[in-house]
């Protein structure tokens, strides 16, 4: 039974990562520029700003936003597992490994959900680009 837990948690994390949808896009306020340009032109301008951001190095997804929670979860899990085993008088090494596996899996799931978030630098770049083109970004969806 114990040997099935870690693979099951890793499969759950992978499934959560696979269920992530497309990254959010800017939502524009219906100002004079949007009314004049129309939806089709606005979408083209959004695409242009996104492409410009990515070609300038401001990538939409920051892989560290997904990996960092996994590492943090594994570290916390290892510490808790080791301390718990030491208090109970059990095998500290097994406690550390088990805690790291569980914490890493939980952090991996959290990271999978965060992987779909737009990096703050990319978001700021796109918003500035659109503002310079006359649009007013009111949020991301």
Main-chain dihedrals φ then ψ at residue 56, nearest 5 degrees? -90, 0
pLDDT number for residue 85? 74
- Given a cut of 60, whether residue 75 has pLDDT beyond it is yes
Angle at 25 between CA 19 and CA 28, to 5 degrees: 150
pLDDT in tens, 85-123: 788 887 878 877 876 778 667 666 665 555 567 889 999
- Given a cut of 80, whether residue 24 has pLDDT beyond it is yes
CA atoms within 13 A on the CB side of 121: 11
Q: What is each CA distance from 77 to 7, 30, 83, 109, 124, in whole angstroms?
A: 16, 48, 10, 14, 35
Share of the chain above pLDDT 90, in %: 38
Reported as a pLDDT band with limits 50, 70 and 90, residue 25 is very high
Q: Spell out the SS3 assignment of 105-124.
A: HHHHHHHHHHCCCCCHHHHH
Give CA–CA dist 65/106, Å, rounded.
Answer: 15
């Amino acid at each position: 039974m114990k040997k099935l837990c870690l693979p099951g948690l890793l499969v759950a994390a992978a499934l959560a990562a696979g269920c992530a949808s497309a990254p959010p896009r800017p939502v524009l306020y219906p100002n004079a520029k949007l009314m004049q340009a129309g939806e089709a032109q606005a979408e083209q301008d959004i695409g242009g700003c996104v492409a410009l951001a990515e070609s300038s190095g401001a990538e939409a997804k920051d892989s560290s936003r997904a990996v960092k929670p996994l590492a943090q979860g594994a570290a916390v899990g290892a510490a808790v597992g080791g301390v718990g085993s030491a208090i109970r008088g059990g095998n500290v090494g097994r406690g550390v490994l088990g805690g790291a596996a569980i914490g890493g899996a939980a952090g991996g799931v959290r990271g999978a959900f965060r992987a779909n978030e737009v990096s703050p630098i990319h978001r700021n770049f796109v918003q500035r680009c659109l503002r310079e083109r006359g649009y007013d970004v009111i949020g991301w969806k």
